[in-house]
Chains A and B, each alone.
Chain A
């Protein structure tokens, strides 16, 4: 918990003052509710390296933060209006069997506003289960953003449609902070999760290294830490993590999510922090749609090691 305490302390100093020039870290603390975000402080933040902490201490469902950059002329209301209406209709039709999975793109493109191609999903997921907190740090360009949760309720409604969204504005003033230098690294290879991290209790900061394929696209872009039972079928979890599955990302989960990251931009790096509070069985999971995910199981003993 050391890292969190440190960032919280800095945040308390920062929030309300907005004196960016003296800042070392800028943390946006977000409390997840079913189904909304409660933001401590203003939704106008500086640009640059910003840490988002997602606290899921009050809710009963898994939540996430997806950050979407809205280009000039597109408002948060536009995102929630015509854009989300299209996805809501699609999801309903898909769940009712009116649209096949292979027809999703065609159907949604019929309904989405033209400007939807200009939306830039900067970062997503980093699923956090009730009772857990997790953080991620990313470099935000100045502009308008929508912070949204794409998870679904037990009856299949997108959390955004229930009210889990918030407009954010990153100003042109840049926070005085360097790129993070975490203690540990994780590198995603085509079929393997490679890390030098020694699992232990406590708070851990990671750098996620991603690689691109011959087509120039990221081979994998996400990783999540989950608390599991011994012998748990991780393929089921991978399948559950598929939003396009009818039951995908719905409220009830078989495992606990402790945080992670999904890098949507073309960056090959990502930074996140999470906390392991109990000894037990854990696994890293890289979600791979329509296939088998990539997993790395490990156990954590009661012995505590916070830093390298």
Chain B
């Protein structure tokens, strides 16, 4: 209750009145923000969190989260004045947020109403192989599957879910299948009353009639998409194009960001503002970092605090700054233009007198020691292949022993970025091009720029299985830039 009281004190008078009912709920270990949003949306009986609809928990038992998830074709208006044939989870793009807490048992009744096979991959979560939603466990068209797993302690953070059928991932994600996951920490080191936002970033291309524009097989565009990964010229933050959000001067908001784009890398920045970067794929850092921009590669997540340091009534734009991730011969002409993502409008209210003080220490991230590593695996990434091989579901590329600690050296041997993703296990990047990484953090995607290398350390804990590793440019993954690690 002490921490709550601290939060209470630093909040402005108006907000205090608003918070009173929620403090009672906090004694029942319920999240304040979630509660408030539930209250505000009682008309629709839809609970929202961080700006997103939440998958409704049908279980009343503590520690159990039981939800229904359906993938199916829909007709949605996602660009103004047009109706687009999409794939959607529970009729929405992005799909509703799965909100769980460390220690929860999660049961997801999944129904595949798509006209094709799919899976649901719970990107970044540490769970049994059979529940990973990898290409090994297809859910056929018209069939259902129940995913069940436990949320492990120490994994609070931001994750996401998306399909992962081999050869069809870019298509299905491009059609609209992705959604966010928030794993909560019952002992959250940050103030629970910080307004929270989840930004699921995606991009897409549309034809004039509003239909999603995928390259024609055999066309030059297909060649470009296969090389660079398919990018769209329309950028979405959640379901909106350049939305306007509000913030009060002096306020601090906690933003969770998921890069759900198939290929685009975001360099997030807001003119005149800095961010406090507090977390990565696998949750909070040990220490916050004040930064001017945050780079987010495909599949990657970031958590940061936005400090409203401008005057009331002003506006600022969250942009993605130019980043050259492309093959030189296929670089888009406008690659060096910044792209607007959203407008943040300062309310006219007077600035908050006291603002939130970020704790100096967020949590302790366990150390994986290099001297404990029993193997170093070298992954040479070229365009479309890893170690010169195209993925073969019948071939085990690497094998390891359960409980082992290992080092992976990811070498990018070509002139464009490749984001490397490992399923099932969070890792820690040790160094890049021989230079030690300063902040110890959990990650499941590491971007490797052209001709660079990154070394990571990982421990195969708890779950045996056949785990995918791949480039998270979805077109590359579909082409077979993927391998299988068998943990026995």
Contact = CB atoms under 8 A, between A and B. Distances in A.
A163 B388 contact: no
A88 B329 CA distance: 10
Contacts, number: 58
A70 to B, nearest CB: 13
A80 B329 CA distance: 5
A270 B298 CA distance: 47
Contacts of A185: none
Interface stretch (B43-51, B118-126, B338-346, B408-416): B408-416
Nearest to A160: B329
Nearest to A87: B329
A36 B329 contact: no
Contacts of A58: 380, 387-388
A80 B382 contact: no
Contact of A84 (B329, B331, B388, B451): B329
Contacts of A85: 329
A38 B450 CA distance: 11
B413 A38 contact: yes
A155 to B, nearest CB: 10
Interface in B308-353: 327-329, 331
B101 interface: no
A80 B227 CA distance: 14
A35 B329 contact: no
B380 A38 contact: yes
Interface in B145-190: none
Max count, chain A CB within 10 A of own CB: residue among B387, B388, B414:
B388
A131 to B, nearest CB: 12
A289 interface: no
A33 interface: yes
Contacts of B327: 80, 163
Interface string B93-110: 000000000000000000
Nearest to A81: B328
Contacts of A84: 329
Contacts of A163: 327, 382-383, 413-416
B92 interface: no
B382 A36 contact: yes
Query: DSSP class of A's interface residues: helix, strand, loop or mixed?
Result: mixed
Interface residues of A, number: 25
Contacts of B384: 162
Interface string A25-49: 0000001011111110001000000
B421 interface: no
Contacts of B451: 39, 43, 166
A164 B227 CA distance: 13
B167 to A, nearest CB: 17
A39 B453 CA distance: 12
B254 interface: no
Query: DSSP class of B's interface residues: helix, strand, loop or mixed?
Result: loop
B482 to A, nearest CB: 15
Contact of B413 (A37, A60, A88, A161): A37
A176 interface: no
A77 interface: yes
B331 A81 contact: yes
Contacts of A38: 380, 411, 413
Interface string A57-89: 011100000000000000011001100110010
B256 interface: no
A60 B388 contact: yes
A34 B413 CA distance: 10
Contacts of B414: 36, 163-164
A38 B388 CA distance: 11
Given A43-B451, A161-B329, A80 B415 contact: yes
Nearest to A35: B382
B383 A35 contact: yes
B328 A162 contact: no
Interface in B408-444: 411, 413-416
A36 B418 CA distance: 13
A85 B330 CA distance: 9
Contacts of A34: 382, 385, 388
A60 B411 CA distance: 19
Given A35-B383, A80-B329, A81-B329, A165 B388 contact: no
Contacts of A60: 388
A164 B382 CA distance: 8
B331 A59 contact: no
Contacts of A76: 328
Given A58-B387, A166-B451, A33 B328 contact: no
Contacts of A59: 388
Contacts of B411: 38
A161 B328 CA distance: 9
Interface string A168-204: 0000000000000000000000000000000000000
Interface in A1-58: 31, 33-39, 43, 58
Nearest to B324: A77
Max count, chain B CB within 10 A of own CB: residue among A33, A37, A76:
A33
Nearest to B380: A38
A58 B329 CA distance: 26
Given A59-B388, A81-B331, A166-B451, A33 B382 contact: yes
Contacts of A31: 380
A247 B328 CA distance: 26
A34 B480 CA distance: 12
A80 B388 contact: no
B11 to A, nearest CB: 52
Interface of A: 31, 33-39, 43, 58-60, 76-77, 80-81, 84-85, 88, 161-166
19 contacts: A33-B380, A33-B382, A33-B387, A33-B388, A34-B385, A34-B388, A36-B414, A37-B413, A38-B380, A38-B411, A39-B413, A58-B387, A58-B388, A77-B328, A80-B327, A80-B329, A84-B329, A161-B329, A162-B383
Interface of B: 227, 327-329, 331, 380, 382-385, 387-388, 411, 413-416, 451
Shortest beta-carbon contacts, A-B, top 4: A163-B414, A36-B382, A36-B413, A80-B328
